[in-house]
Structure 1
Amino acid sequence: MRFTTLLTSAISFGVALAAPAQLDKRYIQEENGINYHVFEHAATGAKIRFVKNSGICETTPGVNQYSGYLSIGSNQNMWFWFFEARNNPTTAPLATWFNGGPGCSSMIGLFQENGPCHFVNGASTPSNNTFSWNNFANMLYVDQPIGTGFSYGTDDVSSTVQAAPEVWRLIQAFYGQFPQYTNRDFGIFTESYGGHYGPEFASYFESQNAAIKSGSISGTNVNLVALGINNGWFDPKIQYQAYIDYSTSNKYNQILSSSQASSYHSSYNSQCGPALSKCTGLTGSNSACENAENTCYQTIEGPISNNGNFDVYDVRAPSNDPNPPETYANYLAQSSVVKAIGAQSTYQECPNGPYSKFSSTGDDSRSLSSTLASVVNSGIRVVIWAGDADWICNYLGGFNVVNALPWSQQSAFANLQLKSYTVAGTARGLYKSLANLSWLQVYAAGHEVPFYQPATALQVFKQTMSKAPLSGT
């Protein structure tokens, strides 16, 4: 979700070819009563420790799962939970899922959205999710940055750019421990603040692939074929204005009158917009970008979100809406569950610490549109989609961002007409696709699209990971 309220060079995370040869290590280690399989990855200096087949969440016979930590440095422990594909795991692609925030746990996606189990109607224990994305792909869920979810230790990350190298190191170490996945098609899927994470992570992975190919670093190529972002926060200049327009034009809940909208547009033009103009993308000063974030929240986002009793993640519901159910967090607080999965910290869904670090650099106010355009131009299959009942990262803002995206076929894409997107013959949204870029507006879905429309979400995921444009069925 997106909250309402050590820059390192690429080469430093690779290994110079002249470095002395080192050997990977594997062993069993006991820590606080938990026995871990441990893998020390010589190439990155990272260490993975995990438990296998905890019996938690994925109960499909014969489907393996692994949960634990990637440790880097002296006190940085990034939580991951990996599920093999339920079908054809030895040939199925590999995909990662990141929730947003910044600083929100990917256990949200695992338990509320697209993981192997879910909590139906707020049940106290999980049950099988027949629409889990590991029906099709091997799925890796990651809590990042440090301090998020079950991750713990020293958090040195205060921006999207700084987050990317640590995620790359995790994937490199993961390939070292599980070499059978190294040549698989690889996808990055994310939501909300993932409109920042997704483009930057994909771009960084591609730059590392190029450095590996040129011989300037050593490492394992990541066969990145797909990027999917639902209800993403990409470009504040466009999306703060969309807060106003969506509040008057969405079909579910008129939040603002036309006169109120006019007043907010004036505030945008006189305060929020000029402040954002001083935050020049990824290179803008921290102070200018932090000021823009504060100014736009105080003049646009904050006042509108408090204008009436509605849930910013689903405008159809009151602010105390119980869905998606939060009972999974109570489950993850049980000591027996914590021990079984190999967690060493208390679960925190969206802690303030990581979020505050990102706020201190004004990361929220930096546009990732040009980075996203570079990923599209590289030929990777990209789908940008959004549930149409979400306010905080609403579909109107996402639609305007994708139409304005400065890629090679921007004009043709912007002029392309929307078509009905069907799932088993039923209309589930409006979409358009051109070359390797697709857009989809999902009907009757809030911020976490796979929770509201699981069959639609699985179809989108399968098509995108198959390197195909969206198409109705």
Structure 2
Amino acid sequence: MHWSTVVASLVTVAAVTEARSWQHVGRKPPVSSPNAGDYLTHFLETRETADSKFANANTTDFAVNGTGIPDVDFDIGESYSGLLSITDDPDGDQKLFFWFFPSPNDAADKEILLWLNGGPGCSSFEGLIQENGPFIWQYGTYKPVPNPWSWHRLTNIVYVEQPVGTGFSQGTVTATSEEDVAEQFMGFWKNFVDTFSMQGYKVYIAGESYAGKYCPYIASAMLDADDATYYNVSGMMIYDPVLMDDTLQTSYSVVPFVDYNKNLMPFNDSFSAYLQEKHESCGFAEYSATYLQYPPPGPQPGVNVSDECANLWYSVYSEVFSLNPCFDVYQVATTCPLLWDVLGFPGSLYYIPEGANVYFDREDVKQAIHAPNITWEECASNDVFINNHDKSDPSGYKVLPHVIEATQNVIIGHGILDMILLANGSLLSIQNMTWGGKLGFESVPIEPFYVPYHELSTGDAIGESDDMLALSTLAGAGVMGIAHTERGLTYVTVNIAGHMIPQYAPSAAFRQLEFLLGRVEGLSSTQAFTTDKDTPQPSADSLGNGTGPWTWSSTGH
């Protein structure tokens, strides 16, 4: 129950009537707005769709019927899906599966963005159906709906299931490193470009989590190829990414994270005291105080701690389930009940209720998108690296700095409610990374991250309607975090997002993509969305500083 509800109940207890007011139950009365009564119809009637931009003899076999996607009761528009070889041999054993959505946006001419989920071995169709695709089916919702925050509204986008062994991709797993993955991907990409006649297109790469290794290694390999016909890499965005040593990005910062979120992880006094003692005795507190400085004092020493210290994050993770059996490490504000997810993973747990089916493992869905009739899993049960070992160095050592320097256009985003990888861990990683001839950020990240106001920024857009689209696609606006840019690298946080920023804060991710594509001047700009130019915005000088947890102070911690 909302606190305002409790107060209202106490104050007005003597005046209770059968007809309880909106204020009594802690809600605002509905406010009418244009098209509020039927937002779904209005959106579908006014949205732009691509006019078969890529239909030709080479793409016919990949064309998807936009009105034939199971359970999707609207036209998703032009799209193409299927398998392509990673070599010059179209009949080769190893193939990657993709789903490509052309953009109706005129500004998207001669550019394409590729999206990769992480894992390793997790399908990029998670991003498609629950983050930034043309239709979304979020866990706990009744059916798929059109996504007004779809990234294809800004640019052409393709979702690729990779490496080999992921999703519908085919063939024997042979990768032992990120270099292998990048080489295989480049072979696929050349075939994709030739199939859809995209020679010379600008290529943007985006992904999340373990894609913090995938994306930089693929982008770096493309840049090294020095072939703008196929590999014209122009920018990269990675969310909540793997950047450095796992322990550095987790256990080193987990106690401050617990302290900041103590209302969500209310441990008893003895366990709280244990955490504080370990944070000090393991050297984590001193480490952050020393190296989370702007500018940093120097390179950080290698991670070398006891097993108990290295596993401090796991201690927190194990203990919290006794307090919250539905705890979601990807979004720590989640509580019970556990909601059904059509991908099978509502948060941290795998759960398929009786009678339900994983969406992409349904035969009718496979037929609609030309997928092979194999068992589809959101995250592969089998290894996608030989012996489940990726021998490559973290991307933050060399390849990520290389991409930053070459493109001057890299964004690292982090959801503050994510515990699988911690925001302070990302900052420590950045402060130990050299690019542009300097180590880390020189100035404290403090600037506001501003998301423009829009029709779906409040519940008022719904009016008295129970319209499913409006309910499923509400998104925030205003100052939603911190954004800071130096030497071609931007770091941005989103306060109320978890591990998958486009899922939890779609309007924030939409704005970040506009910046990556060069459509807006910065993430502190109060320029309206390029797709919604008429909505009034405040002046930039009214924003103040960024918001969120103070992961640093004047002393650096």
Structure 2: how far apart are the matches of 1:49 and 1:295? 53
Structure 1: how far apart are the matches of 2:199 and 2:385? 35
1:39-58 → structure 2 map (5 Å cutoff): 50-53=62-65, 55=67, 56=69
Letter in 1 for 2:200: N
1:429 matched residue in structure 2 = 481
Quote the sequence identity (%).
27
1:246-285 → structure 2 map (5 Å cutoff): 246-250=257-261, 253-254=264-265, 257=272, 259-263=274-278, 266=281
Q: Structure 1 residues 323, 428: CA separation in 2 closer, same or farther (over 3 Å shift)? A: farther
8 Å contact kept, 1:243–1:392: no
Report the Cα offset of residue 183 of structure 1.
2.2
Letter in 1 for 2:112: L
Q: Structure 1 residues 303, 87: CA separation in 2 closer, same or farther (over 3 Å shift)? A: same
Q: Structure 1 residues 263, 164: CA separation in 2 closer, same or farther (over 3 Å shift)? A: same
Q: Provide the secondary structure at the position in 1 that maps to 2:62.
A: strand
Is 1:113 aligned to 2:126, yes or no? no
Is 1:438 aligned to 2:490, yes or no? yes
Tell me the alpha carbon deviations over residues 251-276 of structure 1, each in whole angstroms, 9 at most, x when there is no partner. Answer: 7634673541432564588xxxxxxx
8 Å contact kept, 2:118–2:210: yes
Letter in 1 for 2:118: G
Is 1:103 aligned to 2:142, yes or no? no
Letter in 1 for 2:164: I
8 Å contact kept, 1:314–1:447: yes
Letter in 1 for 2:207: T
1:159 matched residue in structure 2 = 177
2:238 to 229, 250, 275: 229
1:86 matched residue in structure 2 = 104
8 Å contact kept, 1:92–1:136: no
Gaps of 5+ in 1: 1-36, 41-47, 214-219, 270-291
Is 1:396 aligned to 2:407, yes or no? no
1:128 to 146, 159, 168: 146
Report the Cα offset of residue 99 of structure 1.
0.1
Tell me the alpha carbon deviations over residues 192-227 of structure 1, each in whole angstroms, 9 at most, x when there is no partner. Answer: 001111211111110112xx48xxxxxx34221110
1:273-352 → structure 2 map (5 Å cutoff): 299-309=311-321, 310-318=327-335, 321-322=338-339, 326=343, 330-344=358-372, 345-352=374-381
Q: Structure 1 residues 324, 338: CA separation in 2 closer, same or farther (over 3 Å shift)? A: closer
Q: Provide the secondary structure at the position in 1 that maps to 2:383.
A: helix
8 Å contact kept, 2:66–2:75: no
1:199 matched residue in structure 2 = 216
Structure 2: how far apart are the matches of 1:411 and 1:199? 18
Report the Cα offset of residue 341 of structure 1.
0.4
2:156 to 138, 147, 150: 138
Tell me the alpha carbon deviations over residues 159-190 of structure 1, each in whole angstroms, 9 at most, x when there is no partner. Answer: 222111111111111111111x2222210001
1:372 matched residue in structure 2 = 400
8 Å contact kept, 2:333–2:417: yes
Q: Structure 1 residues 294, 167: CA separation in 2 closer, same or farther (over 3 Å shift)? A: farther
Letter in 1 for 2:362: Q
2:509 matched residue in structure 1 = 457
1:386 to 411, 414, 423: 414
2:386 matched residue in structure 1 = 357
8 Å contact kept, 1:118–1:127: yes
Q: Structure 1 residues 159, 266: CA separation in 2 closer, same or farther (over 3 Å shift)? A: farther
Structure 2: how far apart are the matches of 1:362 and 1:264? 30
Letter in 2 for 1:446: G
Structure 1: how far apart are the matches of 2:504 and 2:401? 29
1:470 matched residue in structure 2 = 523
2:292 matched residue in structure 1 = none
Structure 2: how far apart are the matches of 1:294 and 1:359? 24
Q: Provide the secondary structure at the position in 2 that maps to 1:157.
A: coil
8 Å contact kept, 2:108–2:154: no
2:295 matched residue in structure 1 = none
Structure 1: how far apart are the matches of 2:191 and 2:385? 28
More displaced stretch, 366-375 vs 256-265: 256-265
Report the Cα offset of residue 339 of structure 1.
0.5
Is 1:243 aligned to 2:273, yes or no? no
8 Å contact kept, 2:108–2:155: no
8 Å contact kept, 2:409–2:488: yes
Tell me the alpha carbon deviations over residues 398-422 of structure 1, each in whole angstroms, 9 at most, x when there is no partner. Answer: 1222233211264583324411111
Letter in 2 for 1:455: S
Structure 2: how far apart are the matches of 1:395 and 1:323? 28
Structure 1: how far apart are the matches of 2:391 and 2:201? 36
Report the Cα offset of residue 397 of structure 1.
1.2
Letter in 2 for 1:192: S
Matched residues, number = 400
Tell me the alpha carbon deviations over residues 263-303 of structure 1, each in whole angstroms, 9 at most, x when there is no partner. Answer: 2564588xxxxxxxxxxxxxxxxxxxxxx999699724433
Structure 2: how far apart are the matches of 1:358 and 1:414? 41
2:43 matched residue in structure 1 = none
Structure 1: how far apart are the matches of 2:234 and 2:340? 33
Structure 2: how far apart are the matches of 1:321 and 1:355? 29
Q: Structure 1 residues 463, 430: CA separation in 2 closer, same or farther (over 3 Å shift)? A: same
Structure 2: how far apart are the matches of 1:358 and 1:223? 33
Q: Provide the secondary structure at the position in 2 that maps to 1:69.
A: strand
Structure 2: how far apart are the matches of 1:369 and 1:85? 35
Letter in 1 for 2:264: N
Give the alignment's Cα RMSD to 1 decimal: 3.4
TM-score, L = length of structure 2:
0.64
8 Å contact kept, 2:282–2:309: no
Structure 1: how far apart are the matches of 2:103 and 2:142? 26
Structure 2: how far apart are the matches of 1:142 and 1:252? 39
User: More strand per residue: 1 or 2?
Assistant: 1
Structure 2: how far apart are the matches of 1:327 and 1:116? 20
Q: Provide the secondary structure at the position in 1 that maps to 2:368.
A: helix
